[in-house]
């Protein structure tokens, strides 16, 4: 699997250019804050996905 499904036919050169543009737009200080927010969102989503399973297990007791 040489390419990721959601990226299509982007090569390394295109990915580097995209990364540089993101760095220029948001700056070096803002990117860690964005990634932290993204991580919190993913964690919240996973907890939400596990919540119905936990409620179901608690209901069986």
Q: pTM for this one?
A: 0.48
Mean pLDDT, all residues of the chain: 79
Query: Which of the pair, 8 or 17, is modelled with greater confidence?
Result: 17
End-to-end CA distance of the chain: 45
**Given this model, what pLDDT does residue 43 score?**
92
Q: What is the DSSP string of 43-58?
A: HHHHHHHHHHHHHHHH
Sequence ranges of the domains in the chain:
28-61
Q: How far apart are CA 38 and CA 40, in angstroms?
A: 5
């Amino acid at each position: 699997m040489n390419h990721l499904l959601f990226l299509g036919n982007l090569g390394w050169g295109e990915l580097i250019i995209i990364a540089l543009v993101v760095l220029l737009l948001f700056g070096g200080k803002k990117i860690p804050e964005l990634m932290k927010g993204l991580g919190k969102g993913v964690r919240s989503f996973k907890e939400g996905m596990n919540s119905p399973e936990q409620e179901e297990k608690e209901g069986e007791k």
